[in-house]
Every structure is written in structure tokens, then in C-alpha cells.
Amino acid sequence: MGKNIYLGIDVGSVTTKCAVMGEDMELIAHHYIPTSGKPIAQIQKLIREISKEILPDLNIAGVGTTGSARYLAGEIVGADIIKNEITAHAIAATHYFPDVRTIIEIGGQDSKIIIIRNGVVADFGMNTVCAAGTGSFLDHQALRLGIRIEEFAGEAIKSKDPVRIAGRCTVFAESDMIHKQQMGHSTPDILYGLCQALVRNYINNVGLGKRIEAPIIFQGGVAYNKAIIRAFEEELGQEIMVPHHHEVMGAIGAAIIAWENHETTGARTRFKGFSISDICYETSTFTCNGCPNQCEIAQLKQGGQILARWGGRCEKWENVSHVMDKCENTGVLS
Amino acid sequence: MQVTFPHIGNAYIGIKSTLESLGTDVVVPPGCTRRTLTLATRYSPEGICLPFKLNLGNMIEAIELGADTIVNITGHGTCRMGYYHKVQEQILRDMGFDFQMELTGLSEHKLTGFFKMLKKISNNASWTQIISAFHFGLAKVTALDDIEIIANRMRAIEKEKGTITLLYREGTKAIDEAGDYRSLKNVVKDYRRRLKGIKILSGVSPLKVLVAGEIYVVLDTYANMDVELEMGKLGVVTERSLYLSRWAKRGLFYNPLGIDQYRKVHKAAMPYLKRDIGGDGWETIGEKVLGTGHYDGMVHLAPFTCMPEETAQNIMSSTKEDLPVLAIYCDEQTSKAGMLTRLEAFVDMLRMKRNRNGSRLLEE
């Protein structure tokens, strides 16, 4: 049997990422694709890609999943450990930068701050009630201004005199932007103003009450955007470091956690093998009418067999070993 | 007369018992569900807090079931809550409902006011009857807290996941059904024994987390999306800053006698906040200060837009006592996903802090 490798999968709301790490925690392969609202198909696609890349003598010894679809992903690939994305990002960042003190992570749908002291998480924050200042917001605004998101940073960085845009709410920001655009401000000035607004929003909301100290690491998809990095550096007066593989740090973290899990427990992996990319999975949802709460239950099926269910307030549907295809038989499905 | 009252946690078991033993017809509102929430948000002011909305929803659902008298609480010196009964009454009248609202004051009328209200809705029961009915209701609430405290301690170390939750639900039902002191005592004894006697994981020392914040969201598992249950599933023991039985005894007995049971908590909060700011904000800060050293962390529950708790949260972020605090805002969301991500990350963080030397994530 060849060398052991560890697979980490991070299924976010906007992008799906995976990373393969070797025994010495070196990155062997990684992928980054859009989730496009089809997490299962995209996870299968990633697995297919990875299977082509890694040498046949390598042996997958552990699998970790993270991201907002971590439970779904874990069920599909057969994960040994399922971890939240905050821990995964912190583990990855401390792996590459042992003395890191602050992690800024901005993804598609959420943004986080993780405060690290002595190599462990000391505090963290996540955007609570508002999605202003996330990747999707930038995407949306770029689209509105007719700019591809890849060109966003290049344009914004040309700004000489950025306009002031209200950052605390996407609705305010958008109306501010439209107003300034109609007044004739240049696109770069509007774009960079938007970057500054995002950074202000992040520091005042997600970073509220947190001590942002250097070394500061910036990871997540939005770290592709050089203009945002510049706005952060200007606002904080500190240098911002961006890891080489910033966009897959969550997946790297999940792989490291899988390794740690394997080292501690020594258990055989539950990985279902590369063939899962060819299996047909079905997802469906139904409303349970067992009580007036009417929980929306989501279920994952493979050839008529139910693999998992989520979304109930009680345990009625969660424990799949006890239930056969009950929902169809009893007509609870509605 | 068909009497109803809004929900707060499982207090309905005690209230129902008191009213029924006085011979009053009681309509217990259906437990909070998505329907309650939908009704509530449709008729409530948008920016008001979740407790207001859910309580309004309870009243609507109870009226639908035939209730014509609503017992509601009021009180000055708390928070906006002091006005809630008036606004709720107006909304229900505007909806075309015909009912009567009976109020009991938390801060001004105290026990005597409460008893007078009971007399009014119980068709003039004697004072002895009222006192004994109230006493039995309170005994039930105390019994409920009793087994819940054990459940939240044992759930973290249960060998077979789900055992405690099932037992606890059974116990709650048995307490609800107990008809006299004797059977209540037996039920409590029985369930205490059964909850403590389950098979447990050996050799684990679970994390201990304090759950504090605004009373309604701390007590109501629908409003806080079963936060204590979810923590238990993650292997964490939870204790609350307040339990209904203790809170009721304090408000109704000790405070009128001039005994301030919260003196210690208020004193602890003094360096950061010198006065009551309404709701439970002052106490929340004190709980953090006192909890440092005793707990691994604290979960701060607050209804979204709750001024006292938001104030407390901002103060707490800069106290010198460094107990890690996770703030959770309770509002209309019905998906637990966001809360679970934060809880899991919080628990990982607390574990990392504890196991500095060993594995960073795995317990033991």
C-alpha cells in the first residue's frame, strides 16, 4: 500500500473546494469550482477531477468536510470527520502561519473574523443579521456596473478619488452607488469606494470588539480582490498577508483535521471511494405534518434507500436506520 | 370564562395546574410552531422583539380555540415589555376579537396583585384555595426545573445519544399529569433516579457552559432553537443563569420582603454598569463576571432588537474577566444551520483552550 493522503472538501454557498494533503501535510492537489446551487453534482465533479490527478499508489486515509453543506458532503463521500468552517479555516491558517493573530475570511455568503492567540482560536465573529460585505454583494454590484468580477480589482485599483458609499446595509450602499454613478463619478472611483465600504462594514460589524493584531491573514474567495486587500491595509494600517491557496484554505483545514483525526483514532476511513462520482443521488424535501410546526425535511436518497434526513425540530425523521420509506407509505409527503 | 395565557418555556404546566385546581376553564395555547410565528409576524410591529411576537401568536391561537380571557403580564422598570400588553390588546381588538385582558404586575403588584387576579378569574375562590393552588403550581415548576437541570448535565455524557431527551420529555409529561403532591414527589424522585442512572461515557470531563441573557429566550426552547439540547449533543454541560422557579420565588416572595437575591450579581456588574438598564442586561454582565473561572464559556441569548441585552453585549466584550462569550440573537429564523455553525465553532474553541497540549480538537 502506498502513502497515505487526506482529502478535505469545503462546500460553501457559492463555491465548492477540495484539497488533497500528503502525510507530511503538503498540498498535493486542489480544486475550486462554483457550487451553482447543485452541491451534490459539484462534489461528484470534484471527486472525479481529483481521482484523475492523484497517483494510484496513494491511499486515502481520511476525509474531512466543512462549509455550509458539510453534513450533505460528509454523507455523500463518507467523511470521517465533519467540522464547521471557522475551525477549519483556523487550523489551515495556523498550519501555514504558526504565529498568526488575526484571520480575516470573506466568502460568498458570509464573512468571519478569527482571533488566534498562542496558536489556538481565542475568539471569533461571523456576520450576524446582514450579508453586506460578502462576495455575493461584490458580484452583484460588479454585474450591475457591467464589469466581470475578475476585472473588478484591476478597475478599482485605478481609483484616484474614491467616492464615499454607505456600507452598513446593501440597500443603502446600492442606492448610494446608483446616485453617485448618475452624478458622473468614474467606475474605478465607485468600485474602490465600494471596497472601502465593505471593509468599514466588516470592521464595524464582524470585527466589533475584536482586537485585530498583526500578523493578519486574509483568506477566502474575496482575497482574490487586490483592491479589497489595499482597502484593508489602508483602514487597519497593517500589512495583510494572503496565503498562496487562500481560496481553498477551508478545504485544506478539513484535510488537516481528517489527518489529525486519523492520527488520534487510527480508525479506518469511511471514504466510499471514487465511484461515488457515478452514483445517482436524489434529494427531495417534504413538509412533516406531524405537528403544526410543519418542519421542512430534506432527504438524501440513493436508489430508493434513504441515506440521511435533515431539518426536523424533533428526532422523528433524523434517525434513518429506523425508518423505511415511511413518508411515501403513510402519505405524509405533501 | 375560558382563560388563556401566553407561553414562556414550559411554565404553562404550572400555570395550568394552578388555574385548574381553582376550577377555572383553561385554554392552553398550542405550543409555539411555525404557524404561531407566521401569525405573530403578520400582526406584530416589524421591529419588535421575538417574545412579543410569539406571545401575540399564542394569544391568537388560544382565542381561535375559544379563549375569552387572557392573563398577561405588565411591569414598569423592565423594558419595552411594560407596554406590550397594551399594544397586544389593541392589535387583537383591531383583528376583531372579543376578549378580556387581566393583568398581573411584575414589579408593582407582586404577590398580592397576583392573588387578586387569581381571585377574579377563579369565580371568587377562597384565599386558602388560591394560596394552595398557587403553591402546587409552583411546586410543579420547581419539579420541572429540577429534572431539566439534571437532563442538561447528563445529556453531555450519555452513551446512547437521545436517551436523556426522551426521558426528559417523558418526565415533563409525568409532572404535567401529576394530580397531587404525593404523586408529584414520586414522579420527581423516579425521574431523578432514571436520568442519573443512564449509561454514561467513561473518563470524559465535559465542557461546562453558562447560558445567560434575556429571560424569555433563555427559558423558551422554541425561541432559542433548543440551544441547550444542541450543546448537549456536542457534549457540553449547560447551566442557566435563571430558572423559572427561582425567578418566580425571587420576584414574588423575596423582593417584596426586601431580600435582594441578585445583590451579588449586581455587585459583580458594578465596575462596568452601575444601574439597571431594563430587562436582564445588568444581570447578564454580572453573570459573566461571576461565571469567569467557573465555566469554560458563556452563551449569551438575546432577542434581536433587545436594547438591554445589546448594551450588555457591548459592555461584555471589554470586561477584564475573559470568559469567552458567544452571542446568539433569537429572531424569526427557523433554520438552525447558522446557530449550529457558531455553536460548533465555539465548542471547538473552548476545547482547544482546554487541551493546549493534546490534540487540538478531539476530546481526550
Contact B62, B70 (CB under 8 A): yes
Cβ contacts (< 8 Å) between B345 and chain A: which residues? 84-87, 121, 124
Cβ separation B341–A84 shorter than 8 A: yes
How far off is chain A from B35, nearest CA to CA, in Å? 6
pTM: 0.89
Q: Coil, helix or strand for A255?
A: helix
| pLDDT at B29 > cutoff 80 | yes
Mean pLDDT calculated for residue range A25-40:
91
Q: Which CATH class is domain B2-125?
A: alpha beta
**A329 vs A333: CA distance, rounded Å:** 9
What value does the mean pLDDT take over residues A81-95? 94
Mean pLDDT, range B230-242, rounded to an integer: 94
Q: Which band of pLDDT confidence, cut at 50, 70 and 90, is reported for residue B135? A: very high
* Three-state secondary structure call for residue B124: coil
Spell out the domains of chain A, with CATH numbers in brackets.
4-89+249-278 (3.30.420.40), 98-242 (3.30.420.40), 281-330 (no CATH)
pLDDT band at B356 (very low <50, low <70, confident <90, very high): low
Q: What is the mean pLDDT of residues B106-115?
A: 76
Mean pLDDT of A242-253: 94
Three-class SS of residue B271? coil
What are the backbone angles phi and psi of residue B210, rounded to the nearest 5°?
Answer: -90, 130
Is B324's CB within 8 Å of A257's CB? Answer: no
**Sequence-ordered alpha helix ranges (H) in chain A:** 39-53, 70-77, 85-96, 135-144, 149-156, 170-183, 187-204, 226-236, 249-265, 326-330
Over residues A249-261, the mean pLDDT reads: 95
Fold for the domain defined by B206-364:
Rossmann fold (3.40.50)
Averaged pLDDT, B6-10: 93
Q: Which residues contact A127 (CB under 8 A, 6 or more apart)?
A: A110, A111, A112, A133, A134, A205, A206
Residue boundaries of the structural domains of chain B: 2-125, 126-201, 206-364
Task: Read off the DSSP letter of residue B79.
Answer: S
A-B contacts at Cβ under 8 angstroms:
82
126-145 in chain B: CB under 8 A from chain A: none
From chain B, the residues in CB contact with A209 under 8 A are 314, 317-318
Q: Residue B358: its pLDDT value, please?
A: 45
Q: What is the mean pLDDT of residues A133-141?
A: 83
- The shortest CB-CB distance from A124 to any of B226, B349, B360 is to B349
Looking at residue B176, what is its pLDDT? Answer: 95
Residue type, A222: V
* Residue A325: predicted pLDDT: 40
Tens digit of pLDDT for each residue in B305-349? Answer: 899 999 999 899 889 998 999 999 999 887 788 899 999 999 999
The predicted-structure confidence for B139-185, as pLDDT tens digits, reads as follows 999 999 999 999 999 999 999 988 999 999 999 999 999 999 999 99
Sign of the CA dihedral B41, B46, B50, B51?
negative
**How does pLDDT run across B88-102, given as a tens digit for each residue?**
999 999 999 999 999
Cβ pair B348:A83 closer than 8 A: yes
- pLDDT confidence band for A324 (50 / 70 / 90): very low
Judge whether residue B359 has pLDDT over 90. no
Closest residue to B34, CB basis, from A121, A126, A293: A293
Tell me: pLDDT of A332 over 80. Answer: no
> What average pLDDT is seen over chain B?
90
Higher confidence at residue B243 or residue A108? B243
Please report the ipTM that was assigned to this predicted complex: 0.85
Name the residue of chain A whose CA is nearest to B344's CA: A84
Calculate mean pLDDT across residues B22-32.
93
Q: Which of A126, A260, A319 sits opposite B361 (nearest CB)?
A: A260
Hey, what's the cell of A36?
451553482
In angstroms, the CA B141 to CA B12 distance is: 9
Q: Helix, strand, coil proportions of chain B in percent (round to 5)?
A: 55, 15, 35
Q: A104: closest CA among A264, A227, A249?
A: A249
Of A162-166, A276-280, B69-73, B250-254, minimum mean pLDDT range:
B250-254
Q: Is the CB of residue B348 less than 8 Å from the CB of residue B361?
A: yes
- In this predicted structure, the answer to whether residue A236 has a pLDDT above a threshold of 80 is yes
Mean pLDDT value across chain A: 86
HSE-CB at B282 with a 13 A cutoff on CA atoms is: 19
Residue A321 confidence (pLDDT): 56
- Grid cell, residue B157, equals 455524557
Query: Helix B163-177 crosses helix B181-196 at what angle (to 10 degrees)?
Result: 170
Summarised one tens digit per residue, pLDDT across range A262-271 is: 998 888 999 9
Report DSSP state, residue B42. Answer: H
Mutate to test the interface with B, among A80, A109, A123, A322 (most CBs of B within 10 A): A123
- Are both B2-125 and B206-364 of the same fold? yes
**Interface of chain A against chain B, CB under 8 Å?**
68, 83-87, 91, 118, 120-124, 126, 128-129, 208-209, 257, 260-261, 264-265, 291-295, 311, 313, 315, 319
> Which SS3 state, helix, strand or coil, does residue B111 take?
helix
- Distance separating alpha carbons of residues B19 and B16, to the nearest angstrom: 5
**Does residue B60 register a pLDDT over 80?**
yes
Contact A124 B353 (CB under 8 A): no
Q: What is the per-residue pLDDT across A279-305, written as a single tens digit (0 to 9) for each?
A: 888 888 888 888 777 788 888 888 888
Nearest chain A CA: its distance from B347 CA (Å): 10
Check whether the bond before A215 is cis (ω within 30° of 0).
Answer: yes
In the predicted model, is pLDDT for residue A25 greater than 60?
yes
Q: What is the pLDDT of residue B252?
A: 76
Q: Given a cut of 70, is residue B108 above it in pLDDT?
A: no
Measured between beta carbons, the chain B residues lying within 8 angstroms of A91 are 360-361
Q: How far is A313 from chain B (nearest CA, A)?
A: 8
